[in-house]
Amino acid sequence: MADDPIDYNAFNAWDSFGATLMLGISPAIINYVFNEHDIGSSIVLAAVGLIVSLIVLLLALITRWKIIGTLVNLMGWILTILYGIIGGYMWYTQGKDSPPKHQASEEQKS
């Protein structure tokens, strides 16, 4: 009875890696979608996300600290809300500053 109950919702090292990888890849996807399919900077952002997630995996495997899963979960909540706000703002403001590409090219032809 003195044993702590098992928390089946806690993140282990591989859960932390997967969650961090998804959170790290999201800015690359947002960049690709809203910055005219800029592949170069999207690849750089995805590489940074992969490196961060590998660092989290190594840290979680080596130390076995339970706080890592908790922190990844907390950052997941915060970043998901932040990414939603940024994505909504980018979607709302997309195309308001400049005309669409097909209209701009037609205007240049005349």
Cα dihedral 89, 92, 97, 100, rounded to 10, equals 130
What is the spatial distance between Cα 56 and Cα 61, in angstroms, rounded to a whole number? 8
User: Which residues in 31-96 belong to E strands, given as ranges?
Assistant: none
pLDDT (tens digit per residue) in 68-78:
988 999 999 99
Would you state the pLDDT for residue 7? 72
pLDDT (tens digit per residue) in 93-102:
886 666 556 6
pTM of the model: 0.74
| Residue from 26, 76, 82 nearest 68 by CA | 76
